[in-house]
Structure 1
Amino acid sequence: MKANDLNKWLVQERARLIDNYLNLIQKCLGGTIYEDPPLQALGSDKFDPVLREYGWDWPSMAHTMIGQKRLGNIRQLVESVLGNGIEGDFIETGVWRGGACILMRAILDAYHITDRCVWLADSFEGLPPPNEEMYPADAGDNFHTFNDLRISLETVQHNFQKYGLWDQQVRVLKGWFKDTLPNAPIDKLAILRLDGDMYESTWDALNALYNKVSIGGYVIVDDYHVVQGCKLAVQTFLAEKRLSPVLQEIDGVGVYWQVANGTSSS
């Protein structure tokens, strides 16, 4: 085999192996590879591949509930910012069992990126009771009553370790967003993924971190179409900042947009 042909084959083979590795990671994280049954919180007790594809159930064992569509979106956008040299770390605000962040760290590992971090922002104690006086949109919210949403930092760390991905490139911001995010030691972000389920959590994350997202970076909102308070927080924030992004659909639940200079665009 000639040198040029060998080099071409090596590039193609590397790409194939990375793709296989990340596809396998996604299937493991979402539970589709072992078809674990869902928690009964949403009424079902049997594995349904359609529900799992779109993240419409709460898995009993899998490391994320966001489904394969939204996992694929994370991979697409992370690979985009890496390929285009968009500066910054990655963060998810609201990590549950850690699956979305595990995927981000796996992508960095696959491409041998050593100068970026994945930030995990979470109370690791579940969601806060709604502050109805300050955030009326959260009135009646009962996410704080679900024990299934209370995942400890030790559990998340153990989940990372199962994939061999808990290291110095994983950083933790433990506590309520209003306390941890405003002074977080983050210079730039390439990916800001919001999964806080409430108006308050969404607002706190946008208010503290949006101005750290690099031009060309992305904002992902997991709960946009299923939590009215989340959607209202996004709309209110963008209106106050006079931003007019074209929100891109992911799977009928989540949306994302790319940050541009002074405004936001698709």
Structure 2
Amino acid sequence: MDPDFLKLYEQIKNHTLVDIYRCHELWSLAKQVGDVEGDVLEVGVWRGGTGAILASAVRDFPDKQVFLADTFKGVVKAGQQDTRYTGGEHSDTSRDIVSDLMETVSLGNTTLLQGIFPDDTQHIVPSKIAMLHCDVDVYSSSKDIVDWCLPRLSVGAIMVFDDYGFFGCEGVTKLCNELRNTRGLRFMHNLNGHAVFVKFAN
């Protein structure tokens, strides 16, 4: 793995529930969207670990801003599609925890969005998205995020969904399987638990 990534991972590993392999994949994918129009959006930040990885990966692209959206109150919009979540899980975080992490790793290219996305904070994010990392664990919340993002994805943009195929995250798996039929998207299932979509055409 990239030595720069490994150094960063040591700083952020206690701020994420995502394993090192998926973290490295986020790092690698983010580095590939430098010439794709738009910004980077992560929804489902928890304590900021993967957000720091994304922001560090694109820090050499001065036109890229990283928006980190979270309720900081845990999972929202859990429903019948979701077998494990009922709402409020992963609430052991705060905006200050994430803000302090970004300051510690010297990342000034991030904007924190507190509230439900897209319901409360969509107006803060510009109109083009180069990369989405969706890690909200449940179907309805993931679908609302995707519905907002799809018309704003640039050609070449990447969407990454955490927990694809994971026990207890059947809602996320269901949504990703539905997206596989979306015109203009290519799908890849990495066995580490990521579902990756690339927009190849309008």
TM-score range, shorter chain: 0.7 to 0.9
Q: Which digits, 9 at most, give the CA deviation of each residue in 1:117-164, with x for residues without a partner? A: 00011101111263x4xxx313663352x3x53311111101111112
Equivalent position to 2:71, from 123, 134, 145? 123
Q: CA deviation at 1:242?
A: 4.6
1:158-177 → structure 2 map (5 Å cutoff): 158-165=100-107, 167=108, 169-177=109-117
| Structure number with higher relative contact order (C-alpha < 8 Å, ≥ 6 residues apart) | 2
3-state SS in 1 of match to 2:76: coil
Equivalent position to 2:82, from 138, 145, 153? 138
Q: Which digits, 9 at most, give the CA deviation of each residue in 1:51-81, with x for residues without a partner? A: xxxxxxxxxxx01111111111111111112
**Letter in structure 2 aligned against 1:222:** D
Question: In the alignment, which residue of structure 2 is the partner of 1:222?
Answer: 162
CA separation of 1:68/1:139 partners in 2, compared to 1, >3 Å: closer, same or farther?
A: closer
**Letter in structure 1 aligned against 2:16:** T
3-state SS in 2 of match to 1:138: coil
3-state SS in 1 of match to 2:58: helix
Question: In the alignment, which residue of structure 1 is the partner of 2:177?
Answer: 235
Distance 1:141 1:126 in 2: 10
CA separation of 1:250/1:105 partners in 2, compared to 1, >3 Å: closer, same or farther?
A: farther
Question: In the alignment, which residue of structure 2 is the partner of 1:104?
Answer: 54
Question: In the alignment, which residue of structure 1 is the partner of 2:8?
Answer: 25
Structure ranking higher in helix proportion: 1
Question: In the alignment, which residue of structure 1 is the partner of 2:199?
Answer: 259
TM-score (norm 2): 0.87
Kindly, what percent of the aligned residue pairs are identical?
23
Question: In the alignment, which residue of structure 2 is the partner of 1:42?
Answer: none
3-state SS in 2 of match to 1:179: coil
**Letter in structure 1 aligned against 2:92:** R
Report the RMSD for the aligned CA atoms in angstroms.
2.2
1:68-217 → structure 2 map (5 Å cutoff): 68-82=20-34, 85-109=35-59, 111=60, 113-128=61-76, 130=78, 132=79, 136-138=80-82, 141-144=85-88, 146=89, 148-165=90-107, 167=108, 169-180=109-120, 182-217=122-157
CA separation of 1:21/1:244 partners in 2, compared to 1, >3 Å: closer, same or farther?
A: closer
CA separation of 1:229/1:242 partners in 2, compared to 1, >3 Å: closer, same or farther?
A: same
CA separation of 1:143/1:159 partners in 2, compared to 1, >3 Å: closer, same or farther?
A: same
**Letter in structure 2 aligned against 1:104:** L
**Letter in structure 1 aligned against 2:110:** V
Distance 1:65 1:139 in 2: 19
**Letter in structure 1 aligned against 2:85:** D
CA separation of 1:75/1:178 partners in 2, compared to 1, >3 Å: closer, same or farther?
A: closer
The alignment of Structure 1 onto Structure 2 pairs a total of residues equal to 199
